Chains A and B, each alone.
Chain A
Amino acid sequence: MKRRDFLKTSAAAGVGCGFMPLQPLWAQTAVGKSMYDKIWEAHEVTHLGGITSVLHVDRMMIPDNGPRTIKSMLDQGRTIKNPELVWCVPDHQVSTSPERYTNRSLNLGTVVDDFPELKDELAELGIRIFGIDDPEQGIQHVVGPETGLTQPGMLMVAGDSHTCTHGALGCVSWGGETPNNVLLTGTVMRERARNLRVNMVGSMGPWVRPKDLILHTIGTLGADAGNRCAVEYAGPVVRSLGIEGRMSLCNLSIEMGAATGVVAPDDTTFEYMANTRFRPRGEHWDQAVAYWRTLTTDDDATLYRDETIDMTSLEPQVTWGTSPEQVMGISERVPAPDDVPFEKREAWQRALDYTKLVPGNTIADMPIDEVFIGSCVESRISDLRVAAEVVRGRQVAPDVLAWVVPGSKPVKAQAEAEGLDRIFKDAGFDWREPGCSKCYGSNGDLVAQGKRSVSNSNRNYVGRQGIDAITHLTSTPMAAAAAIAGRIVDVRRLMAGEIA
């Protein structure tokens, strides 16, 4: 097949993965820039025409089998570009059973700890590897921020789709990259996204969590609202959140169809960073913070779309369907397909057929079989504290299988130091080891066939958690409340003593 000379000469504006023509931002006259644009441009090695650029990568997270990939590349005589920017933590294939340390075969694929020579060889190159025996192992989107490997202003890539979580620290991050080209070139080739800003205003009522904010946002704007967009979460409600809450928002950006999600860094961010292991040190700290402070969206920046959502009267959310956009407040009634625009009717009917809900009924009091608390959305210490507050002094309902999977070993250790593990275990929860687990059925952690699950994770897709399994996405305290009641309930009513 003939080959062409290309790329550098292709000038026409491109179209990308949606049909609307996109004006490249640098062709516009506005002086102001969004924080996404600033970070994009700071990493732009070269522009290829259209909306595609080659970008420098500051952090590459490689998956469970990554060390093996690197080893085979080294064996082929290849050189890893910027190995000190590469890090790895196994989370998708590891077992979350407490027995995983003694029965190593429970872990699928390569557990890097079992190959000390490989680990040493890669460490020699500067590649940072956490294994299951490492005290910092966990879900990569918990470990990155927690260790400070994730920092504001960075461009960070990985394979996993929820890499967008890291944007909470004021960096640009996305998944879907294959390790090979990043490891060899230290760069990626990407199409630039448009700017969608979501301003969250008002205040958050009792027991309303960041997860509720983002589920409501997706429900309001749609699961495709972020198509070819970088979503910036802004406004007073977002400013009031801690870094962990901001991570919950950014995590579900991919559920909005977005290329990434970001929150501008502020003092909350810098304070969080200051307590991390891999923070910039000495004079570099001041230099870094001065740079990070510039990473806000200018007042005169041109945005593709600017939305404002008042969260004041928002109640805890629960999904009723098989897309995160099929969501409602806990006191609302299941919508009928006739209530929605024609083009959504078939999808809504299919979703209702799958979740076996009846339009017009409330979702409260729907009996459930399993509860999952974990995942890269909400498995951090602040989440576990809120869940423990709900669970304290109560018991998991009979016949409900309820799990807590802490996001990382530091989270687990902190929870144990605070006695949260006892609260969960005494109530009848399984207290497990860090990993992706039932969010998508990793390493056999599946919801039983056809069972109904309440999960604080991010996807309620058909069959996601198990064959014919029905998933209701909620916040962590709502999931905890469901475990106690054995049915979907309003956590506010449970805590007010209105529910036995």
Chain B
Amino acid sequence: MADDAVIDRTNSQRPALGTGAQFISERGIAAPLRMDNVDTDVISPIGKPPYPGVTPETRAFEPIRFFSDGRERPDFILNQEGFRRASILLVGKNFGTGSSRSVAVSRPLDGGIRVVIAESFGPLFYDNSVRQGLLAVPLEEAKIEELVAWAYANPGTSIFVDLESQTIEVEGMGTIPFQVEPRVREKLLNGYTVNEELSKFESEINAFESSYREQRPWIYQTSN
């Protein structure tokens, strides 16, 4: 079994925003953060200075990770032994509900989080995750509960999330299949940018455009 100290990050470096971040697979520790509706303002506060001593690597989840004087909150999972170096989160419903801020994905990435497994995701967090190469895995509640129980029983032990085969491998638990939208899988495996994806449809876009202008000319009248 892998040890806390040995984290095999298949995707070790996060590419800059907009460069078509890639995700292929991740072997890492899974930390249970069993809360519903974890919102973007909790994941990544904006408009306020960081709490004292908080670094870019620890700023994700700041309001539930630290007290405002900078002390760690002991009840937060990433502050607990065995889970400090987790790269996979096991969460509840509606993870990332709230705003469109890109830091809701980039700060967890900066802190080493590469995969979030949830019952469902906030729509804008989900879009951002696809854009930035964080894998958002939707999974049934019962399966997540199994993973949570396993993670607590095996702290510091890695699991393997593979996007190519759309499976999660867990030692002693077998293989759990998951499914993401085909376009999302291709985008992440190849590290396409949205522009690279859309550029394939230039002729369709132009064809659509010319008939659309005739059908609904008023849409284009914005000079009055």
Contacts and interface: CB of A to CB of B under 8 A. Distances in A.
Contacts of B97: 223-224, 254-255, 257, 323
A287 B189 CA distance: 46
Contacts of A84: 220, 222-223
Nearest to A87: B222
Interface in A42-100: 45-46, 48-52, 54, 56, 58, 82, 84-85, 87
Contacts of A281: 218, 221, 224
Interface string A13-24: 011111101000
Interface stretch (A181-189, A194-202, A477-485): A181-189
A17 B121 contact: yes
Contact of B218 (A51, A54, A287): A287
Contacts of B169: none
Name the residue among A161, A228, A291 with the largest chain B CB count within 10 angstroms: A161
B111 interface: no
Given A48-B183, A176-B128, A461 B195 contact: no
B100 A176 contact: yes
A161 B46 CA distance: 15
Interface stretch (B1-9, B80-88, B155-163, B204-212): B204-212
Contacts of A227: 93-94, 120-121, 123
B79 interface: no
Given A56-B212, A178-B131, A468-B68, A280 B194 contact: no
A50 B186 CA distance: 12
14 contacts: A12-B182, A46-B204, A48-B182, A84-B222, A85-B219, A180-B18, A185-B199, A223-B97, A257-B120, A288-B216, A323-B39, A347-B35, A442-B47, A463-B48
B179 A54 contact: no
Interface in A281-299: 281, 284-285, 287-288, 291
Given A54-B205, A186-B205, A254-B124, A461 B18 contact: no
A45 B205 contact: yes
A339 to B, nearest CB: 16
Contacts of B216: 153, 288, 291
A204 to B, nearest CB: 27
A466 interface: yes
A4 B189 contact: yes
A495 to B, nearest CB: 33
Contact of B63 (A7, A49, A449, A462): A462
A406 B190 CA distance: 46
A257 B195 contact: no
A178 B124 CA distance: 11
A191 interface: yes
A227 to B, nearest CB: 5
A185 B199 CA distance: 8
B173 interface: no
A464 interface: yes
Interface in A145-202: 149, 151, 153-154, 159-161, 174-176, 178, 180-181, 184-187, 189, 191
Contacts of B201: 45-46, 54, 185, 187
Contact of B119 (A18, A50, A191, A344): A18
A485 to B, nearest CB: 28
A187 B205 contact: yes
Name the residue among B100, B138, B197 with the largest chain A CB count within 10 angstroms: B100
Contact of A185 (B179, B205, B212): B205
A255 B97 CA distance: 7
B127 A176 contact: yes
Interface string A254-293: 1101110000000000000000011011001101100100
Contacts of B146: none
B47 A446 contact: yes
Interface residues of B, number: 73
A181 B219 CA distance: 20
Name the residue among A18, A277, A444 with the largest chain B CB count within 10 angstroms: A18
Interface string B97-136: 1111000000000000000000111111011100100001
A375 B93 CA distance: 27
Nearest to B222: A84
Size bin of chain A's contact surface: 35 or more
Contacts of B119: 18-19
Contacts of A323: 37, 39, 97
B4 to A, nearest CB: 26
A52 B181 contact: yes
Q: Is the interface of A mostly helix, strand, loop or mixed?
A: loop
A187 to B, nearest CB: 6
Interface string B21-57: 0100000000000111101111001111001000000
B36 A440 contact: no
A459 interface: yes
A461 B41 contact: yes
B77 interface: no
Name the residue among A176, A223, A288, A442 with the largest chain B CB count within 10 angstroms: A176
Contact of B48 (A6, A277, A446): A446
A181 B198 contact: yes
A21 B37 CA distance: 21
B195 A185 contact: yes
A72 to B, nearest CB: 12
Interface string B152-180: 00000000000000000000000000011
Contacts of B199: 185
A440 B64 CA distance: 18
B120 A17 contact: yes
Contacts of B222: 84-85, 87, 126, 128, 149, 278
Contacts of A120: none
Contacts of A27: none
Nearest to B220: A84
Contact of B98 (A187, A228, A259, A461): A461
Contacts of A463: 41-42, 45, 48, 62-63
A48 B194 CA distance: 14
B198 to A, nearest CB: 5
B94 to A, nearest CB: 4
